[in-house]
């Protein structure tokens, strides 16, 4: 055992005595290249498309007559642009528990989706999400927060 240790130590000592190669660090200057970053192009027509939000009464998720007109207009826009998909976001004001508002936001988004489907929009173009009270439009104006938003995907 001692012999193995002595051989290992002497090998390291002998290897350490050999002349070492000099390492020369050179600084390489690479000419600056212009790199263009391109964003995926959005079709000009799609960029102009706008879908309007609808609002709801306190603690309700039924579509009001005025909001039905907005949904009819949104459906018309979607029929004109069959390549557009939409995420419908359900929102609430801060009255009530977070859990209750999350469920109510989902019901609002689903009500808007169902209404658009009844107007002839294919269901696979529409998806829903609830943000409950988490994303208020205006924390000082509770009725504004009781809404459904339509986000083009």
Closest CA to 95 of 150, 56, 54: 56
| Beta strand 86-91 pairing with 126-132 | parallel
**Which pLDDT score is estimated for 48?**
80
| Beta strand 147-152 pairing with 126-132 | unpaired
CA atoms of 131 and 133, how far apart (whole Å): 6
pLDDT per residue as tens, the chain (153 positions): 554 544 554 554 454 555 555 545 555 454 554 445 444 454 545 568 899 999 999 999 999 999 999 999 999 999 999 999 999 999 999 999 999 999 999 999 999 999 999 999 999 999 999 999 999 999 899 999 999 999 998
**What does pTM read for this prediction?**
0.69
Q: Please say whether the beta carbons of 54 and 148 come within 8 A.
A: yes
């Amino acid at each position: 055992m001692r012999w193995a240790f002595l051989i290992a130590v002497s090998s390291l000592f002998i290897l350490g005595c050999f002349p070492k190669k000099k390492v020369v660090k050179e600084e390489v200057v690479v000419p600056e290249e212009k790199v263009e970053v391109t964003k995926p192009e959005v079709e000009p027509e799609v960029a102009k498309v706008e879908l309007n939000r609808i609002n709801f009464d306190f603690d309700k998720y039924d579509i009001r007559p005025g909001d039905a007109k907005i949904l009819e207009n949104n459906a018309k826009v979607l029929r004109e642009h069959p390549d557009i998909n939409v995420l419908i976001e359900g929102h609430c004001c801060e009255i009530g528990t977070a859990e209750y508002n999350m469920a109510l936001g989902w019901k609002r988004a689903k009500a808007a989706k169902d209404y658009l489907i009844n107007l002839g929009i294919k269901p696979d173009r529409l998806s829903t999400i609830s943000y409950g009270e988490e994303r208020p439009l205006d924390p000082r104006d509770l009725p504004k927060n009781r809404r459904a938003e339509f986000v083009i995907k």
